[in-house]
Amino acid sequence: MRKSSLIGHVAELLDTVLASGQPADSVVREFYRKRHYLGSRDRRYVSETLFGILRQYRLLESIARRAIPPQSFLRSPKVPSIALCATYALRVLGETATDLEPDIAGLWRVVWFDVDCTAYLESIGKIDAFEGVGSDPAKRIALETSMPDSIVREWIARFGEAEASQLCKASNQPAPTAIRVNSLKCTVEQCREVLLGEGIATERTALSPAGLTLDRRVNTQALSSFRLGFFELQDEGSQLIAMLLEPRPGWTVVDACAGGGGKTLHLAAMMGNRGEVIAMDVGELRLKNLAARAVRAGVTIARPLVVGRDDGVPESLAARADAVLVDAPCSGVGTFRRNPGAKLTFSEDFVAAVSRTQRDLLDKYACLVKPGGRLVYSTCTLLQQENEEVVGRFVATHPEFSFVSAPDVLRTQAVPAPGEGPFLTLLPHRTSTDGFFASVMVRS
List Cβ neighbours of 228 (8 Å cut-off, separation of 6 or more).
185, 296
The SS3 assignment for 47 reads helix
List Cβ neighbours of 434 (8 Å cut-off, separation of 6 or more).
175, 235, 237, 238, 334, 335, 337, 338, 380, 426, 428
Q: Following DSSP, what letter does each residue of 194-261 receive, concatenated?
A: HHHHTT--EEE-SS-TTEEEESS---GGGSHHHHTTSEEE--HHHHHHHHTT---TT-EEEETT-TT-
The catalytic residue among 85, 168, 330, 380 is 380
Q: Are 425 and 436 in contact (CB under 8 A)?
A: yes
The end-to-end CA distance of the chain, in Å, is 64
List the one residue out of 18, 85, 106, 8 whose CA is nearest residue 345. Answer: 18
* Rounded CA separation 76/74 (Å): 6
* Rounded CA separation 411/170 (Å): 25
The SS3 assignment for 290 reads helix
* Rounded CA separation 271/302 (Å): 11
Distances 30 to 10, 24, 27, 36, 147 between C-alpha atoms, Å: 14, 10, 5, 11, 27
Known catalytic residue: 380?
yes
Handedness of CA 207, 212, 217, 221 (dihedral sign): negative
378, containing H or E segment: strand 369-379
Query: Which residues does the annotation mark as catalytic?
Result: 380
